[in-house]
Structure 1
Amino acid sequence: MLAGMSLGTEIRRYSRGTLPRIAVITMVLLPLLYGALYLWAFWNPFGEVNKMPAALVNLDEGAVNGGKKINAGDQVAAALKSSGQLNLTEMSAEDARRGVADGKYYFSITLPEDFSAAVVSPNTANPHKALLQFTFNDANSYLASVIGQNAAREVLAKVGDTIGQQSVDQVLVGLTTAGKGIDKASAGAKLLATNLATADSAAQQLASGSKLLADNLATARDGSAQLQAGSAELAAGVESATGPLLGIINQLQSSGVKPSSYVTTAQQLSTELSPVLDSLSLAGSAQGEALRSVRQIITFLKLDPNPAVRNAAKTLAPVEKFLSTQGLSPQTTARIDGLKQTSTTLTTQLSDPGVTSMLSMLESGDLTTQVTRLRDGSAQLKTGIDTLAGGLTQLAAGGTQLADGAGQLAAGTPQLKAGAEQLAAGLADGAKQVPKWSDQQRIGTAQTLSSPVALDMFHDNEAPNFGSGFAPFFMTLALFIGAMLIWMILKPLQSRPIVNGVSAIRTVLSSYWPALLIAVGQGLVMYLVVHFGLGLDVAHVAGAIAFVILIGATYLAIIQMFNAIFGIPVGRVLTLAFLMVQMVSSGGIYPVETTARPFQILHPFDPMTYAVNGMRQLINGGVDERLPIAVAVLLGLLLAALAVSSWAARRNRVYTMDRLYPPIEV
């Protein structure tokens, strides 16, 4: 067993001469090409994005908002250039297109013509988002496009925060102004409610007054109807009276007769007739006295018993008859008295100034004019009264409508008053709910609302950069390639121990221990260069070094197994194939869930899976059950590989034609 622990002749063989020693040194240093060179080249690519050339095109034409000129495109372009996040060069759209097309620039950022208009669009009837256009060309570099897209998201977030803050601030300014307007509206609504209370009282009075007016107008309408009927009768009477009168007047005027001369004659006749009538009146009175006396005498004589006396009464009978039937009878005397009175009245009337004036007007024609005016005036009076009656009818109808409308108004004003009071109360409550911001509070609120959710990331066992995150995979890959290189220089199984009948395990170990010594050197050198040269911060140094040695030892045993079983030519091919399968199944670059389904199936059976998991926990921290599992799996694979190699060494004691004449020789 101690012989199996010796380094054998392999190391001694490579310790003599310059080239063998250079070969050993090369085997020790070669894993640095993968474990250190790759990490160095891609140590922090995302931290160097500001060195990637990109084109900036500002086509923004600006906009007017609230009477102010807004040039959001200029502000964003200046902010992008001053941020230092990207290596931006501002140019025309055509230059940017050509630059991205020929690879001079990895991508371009374009601010379109309506950028400012879109920024202020929330204050318009057509709000829409402002576009920030990124143009990539994957023919230049796909990863450059991916990195540019990540940068685009960061730029978009920052620009969105800035523009969003401005947009929200504009909205909040409007809200603050609206709040002041609501305060004014609330005060106005209170005043309106007070005035509507007064209006309600006035409406009730108006309804009462309009009802009284409607009743009075109805009474006036009825009275005007009666007046209309009376005026019609009056007009008809005047027409019937003035018609004949005008005819007589016209006849008198056309006959040439002067009524004034007849008046004078009548006055003279009345004057002359008056004494005669007086005499006749006296004579009639005397005759009446005589008749009464004769009748008394006759009555007295008839009462006398003396026949002669009674005969005398008969003698007076003719006298009585004459006095009663002839001469001036009482009726005639009464007529004479009436005629006398009439004559006196006529003389008085004809002497009246009015009659004199009328006769004068009759002779001059003025009477005709006055009678005509009377007739026309009565007709006009009738027409006016008809118009008045019609107007009063309309007024009565309007008064009724006014009364109805006033009644409806009076019925509605309480509701209007209640609504105004409710409106005033609602506006007062709304005014209380509208915040009263100062400028500083408004700006702070705009900042919060424009970015209501802040990204607060917590990293457990954070890898500070790209290189630190990928170090577990590349260091594991370097250890596998280093082990593969060792077995390209050293013999996986030495022939002399097999021929001499040395035990299988000793045969395997006699080749394994020299190779392990080189593998340990590879791991230590790689760790020191990565840690001190590149600045890899390792959470568990001792554990990481031990695990690196374990990984190298395991890979060394597995590759030795492939060569022992299948021979060196086929074993090397299988080793390369095994390396490719491990790389895509380990989840060392991308999460295994993002790979194709076959590689997800192979993932739990991939040795590199456990090597990468263990290295991650030892470098970044956060050790859990995955580390002991990884250690156990790698140790198990190490022992299993040595056991299988021992079986292959025992098998190789028997020479076959394939061993004597292998189908493939190296």
Structure 2
Amino acid sequence: LAVGAGEVAGGAAEAAHVGREAVTTTREAVAALDTARTDLEAALGPLVAEGRLTEAEAAEIRALLEDSRAPVASLVTQVEDASGRLDELSDGAAQVATGARELADASPALTQGIATAAQGGQEVAAGAAEVSSGAATLARDLCTLAAGTTQVSDGAARLASSSVTLRDGTSELGSGVTQLREGLQQGLTRIPDLDPDTERETARTIGNPVEVVSDTMARAGTYGAGLAPFFMSLATWIGAYMLFLLVRGLSSRALSAGAPAAWAALGGWIPPALIGVGQVVVMFSLVAFALDIRPVHPIGTLLLLLLASATFVAVLQALNVWLGTVGQFLGLVLMLVQLVTAGGTFPWQTIPEPLRSLHRVLPMSYTVEGLRQTLYGGDLGTVARDVAVLVAVLVVALGATTYAAYRQRVWSPARLQPELVL
């Protein structure tokens, strides 16, 4: 603003200088007309005396000369008046430039109000542009005036128009300066003066605008308690697996005696299942009392472990009855596969296919999931679904063993006298 106001003051000073030159030019034009009238008077006297002109013609020539001098004399008065106004405008612009320079010196402390004062600055720039345009118009008009006295009247009209434009621009400049002052004053009132506590709170909010809140539906409490469902399920499977290294899946005596296939299958399943009950009770007691992992639903946890043990016994019995030694090996392989697919140590959703599909069909997955609900206090609806799946696996495994017992009621020579394999 200070630089622009200085330029406006310089332009106004130049306009005032041109106005003074215009006054000088018009005065010289009047003086030239007076000299021409004197010379004409001197020339007309001899012509009248010689009879070459009549007195009436000489009087008419003098009247024409007087008529041409009157507009020029009037123009001199108008130009002098306009020059005086230009001088006043130059002085006012110089004062505005001085005030703007002082304002610029004080502006570093008001930087927060500059955004509010931008509109006033734009209007000041517009007023300065109009002042510059008026000065250019004035310069062109003065040049036109100097070109000849025949266009003096037109130049005077343009000079008057330019003076009006200058006056309007000066008015807008003053209005813009007023708006700038008011905007700076408003900006000063909007600068916050915060106390130290508010400053610290503001900095803390800017530095950490988001607060993370965790909400847990169920919690294991310790790392060991978190792994308990997996290792308890694994121990149940291993206990069932070890039992069929000691007992047979079907009794040959019951088959040779012609007992029903279902009774023969149950007769091979009940003894290891009862031993599995003892294993589960001992394991549950150690986990609950020795390791101090207290289930939220202790009865539900114990019942789910008993069902899992009975199911695992039935699955391993069916594998042994159908495949024999190969079935025992396959039970070991299934245990290793379920170490990965059961989701006990890491989310099963992260494993690739086809292991992810095996998670959905192997029984240990549902045992781990159900134990998590009963140990930590989760969704009992999930426990009901897991129990239904384990019961279904138990029924299918016992059905497969029953069908195998039905088939083995027919004795072949190979079964009566098996080959000796070295």
TM over 0.5: yes
Aligned counterparts of 1:524 and 1:224: Cα–Cα separation in 2 = 136
Aligned counterparts of 1:422 and 1:519: Cα–Cα separation in 2 = 93
Which residue does the alignment assign to 2:377?
A: 621
State the number of aligned residues. 299
The change in CA–CA distance for 1:217 and 1:432 in structure 2 (over 3 A counts) is same
Matches within 5 A, 1:215-234: 216-218=23-25
* Aligned amino acid, residue 449 of structure 1: I
Which residue does the alignment assign to 2:400?
A: 644
* Aligned amino acid, residue 334 of structure 2: F
Are residue 552 (structure 1) and residue 309 (structure 2) matched? yes
* Aligned amino acid, residue 464 of structure 1: G
Aligned counterparts of 1:534 and 1:413: Cα–Cα separation in 2 = 94
CA deviations 1:528-556 (Å, max 9, x no partner) are 22222333231111100110111011101
- Per the TM alignment, residue 413 of structure 1 is displaced from its structure 2 partner at its CA by 3.9
Which residue does the alignment assign to 1:153?
A: none
The change in CA–CA distance for 1:438 and 1:459 in structure 2 (over 3 A counts) is same
Aligned counterparts of 2:420 and 2:330: Cα–Cα separation in 1 = 14
Are residue 535 (structure 1) and residue 288 (structure 2) matched? no
Higher helix share: 2
Matches within 5 A, 1:474-553: 474-553=231-310
Q: Which has the larger radius of gyration?
A: 1
Aligned counterparts of 1:659 and 1:514: Cα–Cα separation in 2 = 24
Which residue does the alignment assign to 1:565?
A: 322
Aligned counterparts of 1:578 and 1:214: Cα–Cα separation in 2 = 113
Give the SS at the match of 1:488: coil
The change in CA–CA distance for 1:220 and 1:638 in structure 2 (over 3 A counts) is same
Matches within 5 A, 1:376-455: 408=132, 411-431=168-188, 433-455=190-212
TM-score if structure 2 supplies the norm length? 0.60
TM-score if structure 1 supplies the norm length? 0.39
CA deviations 1:590-620 (Å, max 9, x no partner) are 3333111222333332212221221111112
Deviates more, 1:585-594 or 1:607-616: 585-594
* Aligned amino acid, residue 463 of structure 1: A
- Per the TM alignment, residue 477 of structure 1 is displaced from its structure 2 partner at its CA by 1.4
- Per the TM alignment, residue 621 of structure 1 is displaced from its structure 2 partner at its CA by 1.5
Aligned counterparts of 1:590 and 1:662: Cα–Cα separation in 2 = 47
The change in CA–CA distance for 1:492 and 1:430 in structure 2 (over 3 A counts) is farther
Compute the RMSD of aligned alpha carbons: 4.1
Q: Structure 2: 5+ residue runs without aligned partners?
A: 34-79, 94-130, 133-165
* Aligned amino acid, residue 336 of structure 2: M
* Aligned amino acid, residue 372 of structure 2: R
Are residue 579 (structure 1) and residue 335 (structure 2) matched? yes
The change in CA–CA distance for 1:665 and 1:471 in structure 2 (over 3 A counts) is farther
**Identity across matched positions, percent:** 33
- Per the TM alignment, residue 492 of structure 1 is displaced from its structure 2 partner at its CA by 2.1
Aligned counterparts of 1:489 and 1:433: Cα–Cα separation in 2 = 89
The change in CA–CA distance for 1:590 and 1:411 in structure 2 (over 3 A counts) is same
Matches within 5 A, 1:280-291: none
Aligned counterparts of 1:437 and 1:546: Cα–Cα separation in 2 = 65
CA deviations 1:433-472 (Å, max 9, x no partner) are 5543211111111112111111101011123233333322
Which residue does the alignment assign to 2:228?
A: 471
Matches within 5 A, 1:108-507: 213-214=20-21, 216-218=23-25, 408=132, 411-431=168-188, 433-507=190-264
Aligned counterparts of 1:462 and 1:474: Cα–Cα separation in 2 = 18
- Per the TM alignment, residue 625 of structure 1 is displaced from its structure 2 partner at its CA by 2.6
Aligned counterparts of 2:408 and 2:21: Cα–Cα separation in 1 = 135
Are the aligned partners of 2:233 and 2:368 in contact in 1 as well (CA < 8 Å)? yes
Are the aligned partners of 2:366 and 2:390 in contact in 1 as well (CA < 8 Å)? yes
CA deviations 1:307-356 (Å, max 9, x no partner) are xxxxxxxxxxxxxxxxxxxxxxxxxxxxxxxxxxxxxxxxxxxxxxxxxx
* Aligned amino acid, residue 376 of structure 2: N
- Per the TM alignment, residue 483 of structure 1 is displaced from its structure 2 partner at its CA by 0.8
- Per the TM alignment, residue 223 of structure 1 is displaced from its structure 2 partner at its CA by 9.6
Matches within 5 A, 1:576-615: 576-615=332-371
Give the SS at the match of 1:531: helix
Which residue does the alignment assign to 1:102?
A: none
Which residue does the alignment assign to 2:112?
A: none
CA deviations 1:109-128 (Å, max 9, x no partner) are xxxxxxxxxxxxxxxxxxxx
CA deviations 1:620-641 (Å, max 9, x no partner) are 2122432112111211221222
Higher relative contact order (CA 8 A, sep 6+): 1
* Aligned amino acid, residue 635 of structure 1: V
Aligned counterparts of 1:413 and 1:665: Cα–Cα separation in 2 = 121
* Aligned amino acid, residue 651 of structure 1: R
The change in CA–CA distance for 1:513 and 1:418 in structure 2 (over 3 A counts) is same
